[in-house]
Amino acid sequence: MALPDIFSKPVADQVIDRIHQLTPGTPAGWGKMSVDQMLAHCNVTYEMVYDTVHPAPGGLMKLILKLMVKNKVVSEAPYAKNNPTAPQFMIKDRKDFAAEKERLIAYIGKTQQLGK
């Protein structure tokens, strides 16, 4: 089954609608993070694409990621629970719920507008 295409306006709008339904008290549906941490976790991917917050991996690490991780990350198979994640994606401190929510919605809108 094909994954929803975030570059499609209807899909982007649907994802944004789901984000709007979140509240600071929304319980975790996947792991152990609070909703503000989960929003920050989702923002990391967009930070890597649009901002210079996270350094790019070096040569050897880039090769390892390409050979061992890339296919798992971009495949259509669902992620298994409790798999390890890169340190950049581990959000341990609490975040500002409204700010993280606003950032994620903005990133999704930007991604949809820029297109593939």
pLDDT value at residue 86: 81
* End-to-end CA separation in angstroms for the chain: 20
CA–CA distance, 39 with 28 (Å, rounded to integer): 11
CA–CA distance, 29 with 3 (Å, rounded to integer): 20
pLDDT digits (tens, 9 = 90+) for 37-49: 999 999 999 998 8
Express as a percent the part of the chain with pLDDT over 90.
Answer: 47
Q: How confident is the model at residue 81 (pLDDT cuts 50, 70, 90)?
A: confident
Q: How confident is the model at residue 22 (pLDDT cuts 50, 70, 90)?
A: very high
CA torsion, ordered 6, 40, 38, 33, to nearest 10 deg? 160
